[in-house]
C-alpha cells in the first residue's frame, strides 16, 4: 500500500514550504509526490487537474492520499464529495494532516449500504462552508493590504520571466539534467517561468508539428533510479540500450532519476522490460522497486492517448 502526497499552490509567487513542513512532520513512509504546476487554480475541479488525475491513475486499492490541508485539494463542498466518491470507488483513503478536517475519517461508509456516512457528509458540508468564508475574508484582507502598499508607492506584480537571450541556455541545462527548481534559483524566477521555455521537453507535453506524427518525436522522461539499475542488467535491443546509455543522471536526495530522451515506442518497450519489478515472472517483489516501477509506469502512460 503506497502513500501518495498531493501538493498545490494557487500562484507562481507562492511556495509549498508550509505544506512540506506539515507533511514532513507527519512522518509519511516512502511517499510518492504529485505536485501541480505552480499557479494551478483552485477553481479548476480537482478531477480535472493534471497531477491529481495522474495520482488517481497511479493509485491502487488500499493506497492513502495525503494532503497538508483540505483546501489544497478542493474549493467547495461539491468538490469534496466528488473526490470522496472517486476514492471510495477506487478503495483509496484520504488523510488530511492539518486544519479542520484533520481529525476526521472522511472515507467512512455505512457498513451495510456502503454510502458515505450522513454525519461525515454533514461535517464536510459545514466545514467546507466555513472554509469558503475564511478564504473570502482573506481575499478582502489581501486586497486591502495591496491598496495600502500601493498608496505607499509599492507595486506588486508577477516575478520576471526568463529573458529571451537566456532561453536556449535554460533548455540546454534542463536536457543536461538541471532540475526545474535549480534553474529557477539560478535565474531568480519562478518554477512556472522555467517550465515555459522547456515545456516541449517535459514528459507530459503533447508534441504536435505539421506533417510530423507526434509518436515519432523524442520525449524526455525521468526514469526512477531503481528501474534504471534493473534495466542496465537486462537484455535490451540496441535502440533501448542506446537510449539508456545516453540518459542524463539527475540527483535527488540519496537517490537519482535518469532523464531518458527517446520516442514513445522506446519508452513503452523499456517499461515492458522492467515489468518483473511489479511482481511475478520469478522475480521476488521488493516494495521499493515495485513503487519505482509504478511511478515509471505512470509517467510512460502520459505518452499514450487515452482515447476519445
Element (H, E) at 51: helix 50-58
Please check whether residue 49 is in contact with residue 125, taking contact to mean a CB–CB distance below 8 angstroms: no
* pLDDT for the residue numbered 207: 42
All cell numbers assigned to 275: 515489468
Is 8's pLDDT higher than 50? Answer: yes
Which pLDDT band holds residue 299 (cuts at 50, 70, 90)? confident
Q: What is the rounded average pLDDT of the residues 164-179?
A: 84
Higher pLDDT, 108 or 288: 288
Which pLDDT band holds residue 201 (cuts at 50, 70, 90)? confident
Is 105's pLDDT higher than 50? Answer: yes
Is 48's pLDDT higher than 70? Answer: yes
Query: In terms of Cα–Cα distance, which of 222, 202, 225, 241 is closest to 291?
Result: 225
For residues 293 and 84, what is the distance between their CA atoms, to the nearest angstrom?
Answer: 27
Q: Is 143 helix (H, G, I), strand (E, B) or coil?
A: helix
Instruction: Report the mean per-residue pLDDT for the chain.
Output: 78
Is 184's pLDDT higher than 80? Answer: yes
Which pLDDT band holds residue 54 (cuts at 50, 70, 90)? very high
Element (H, E) at 221: strand 219-224
Higher pLDDT, 190 or 120: 190
* pLDDT for the residue numbered 133: 67
Is 242's pLDDT higher than 90? Answer: no
Element (H, E) at 260: strand 255-262
Q: What is the pLDDT of residues 106-138, one digit of tens each?
A: 766 677 776 666 676 676 667 666 666 666 676
For residues 193 and 199, what is the distance between their CA atoms, to the nearest angstrom?
Answer: 10
Q: Is 34 helix (H, G, I), strand (E, B) or coil?
A: strand
Q: Which positions ≥6 away from 81 have C-beta within 8 Å? A: 116, 121, 124
Is 266's pLDDT higher than 70? Answer: yes
Is 281's pLDDT higher than 60? Answer: no
Instruction: Report the range of poorest mean pLDDT among 48-52, 98-102, 127-131, 225-229.
Output: 127-131
* pLDDT for the residue numbered 36: 92
Place of cell 488530511: 96
Query: In terms of Cα–Cα distance, which of 305, 281, 265 is closest to 293?
Result: 281
Please check whether residue 219 is in contact with residue 205, taking contact to mean a CB–CB distance below 8 angstroms: yes
Q: Which positions ≥6 away from 247 have C-beta within 8 Å? A: 223, 228, 258, 259, 260, 261
For residues 299 and 82, what is the distance between their CA atoms, to the nearest angstrom?
Answer: 25
- DSSP annotation of 136 reads H
* pLDDT for the residue numbered 153: 66
Is 98's pLDDT higher than 80? Answer: yes
* pLDDT for the residue numbered 35: 92
* pLDDT for the residue numbered 56: 92
Query: In terms of Cα–Cα distance, which of 49, 64, 47 is closest to 10?
Result: 49
* pLDDT for the residue numbered 132: 64
Which pLDDT band holds residue 43 (cuts at 50, 70, 90)? confident
Higher pLDDT, 34 or 216: 34
Amino acid at each position: 500500500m503506497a502513500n501518495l502526497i498531493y501538493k498545490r499552490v494557487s500562484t507562481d509567487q507562492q511556495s509549498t514550504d508550509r505544506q512540506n513542513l506539515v507533511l514532513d512532520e507527519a512522518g509519511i513512509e516512502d511517499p510518492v509526490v504529485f505536485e501541480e504546476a505552480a499557479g494551478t487554480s483552485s477553481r479548476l475541479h480537482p478531477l480535472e487537474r493534471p497531477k491529481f488525475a495522474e495520482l488517481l491513475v497511479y493509485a491502487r486499492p488500499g493506497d492513502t492520499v495525503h494532503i497538508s490541508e483540505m483546501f489544497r485539494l478542493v474549493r467547495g463542498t461539491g468538490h469534496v464529495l466528488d473526490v470522496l466518491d472517486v476514492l471510495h470507488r477506487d478503495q483509496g483513503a484520504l488523510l488530511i494532516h492539518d486544519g479542520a478536517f484533520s481529525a476526521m475519517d472522511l472515507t467512512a461508509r455505512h457498513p451495510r449500504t456502503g454510502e458515505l456516512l450522513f454525519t461525515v457528509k454533514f461535517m464536510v458540508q459545514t466545514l467546507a462552508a466555513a472554509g469558503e468564508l475564511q478564504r473570502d475574508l482573506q481575499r478582502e484582507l489581501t486586497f486591502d493590504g495591496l491598496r495600502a502598499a500601493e498608496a505607499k508607492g509599492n507595486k506588486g506584480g508577477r516575478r520576471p520571466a526568463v529573458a529571451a537571450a537566456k532561453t536556449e541556455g535554460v533548455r540546454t541545462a534542463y536536457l543536461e539534467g538541471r532540475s526545474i527548481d535549480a534553474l529557477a534559483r539560478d535565474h531568480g524566477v519562478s518554477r512556472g517561468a522555467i517550465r515555459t521555455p522547456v515545456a516541449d521537453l517535459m514528459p507530459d507535453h503533447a508534441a504536435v508539428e505539421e506533417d510530423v506524427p507526434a509518436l515519432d518525436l523524442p520525449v524526455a522522461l525521468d526514469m526512477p533510479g531503481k528501474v534504471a539499475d534493473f534495466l542496465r542488467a537486462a537484455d535490451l535491443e540496441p535502440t533501448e540500450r542506446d537510449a539508456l546509455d545516453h540518459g542524463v543522471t539527475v540527483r535527488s536526495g540519496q537517490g537519482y532519476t535518469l532523464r531518458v530522451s527517446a520516442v514513445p515506442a522506446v519508452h513503452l518497450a523499456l517499461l515492458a522490460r522492467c515489468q518483473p519489478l511489479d511482481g511475478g515472472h520469478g522475480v521476488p517483489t521488493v516494495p521499493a522497486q515495485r513503487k519505482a516501477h509504478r511511478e515509471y509506469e505512470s509517467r510512460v502512460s502520459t505518452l499514450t492517448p487515452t482515447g476519445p
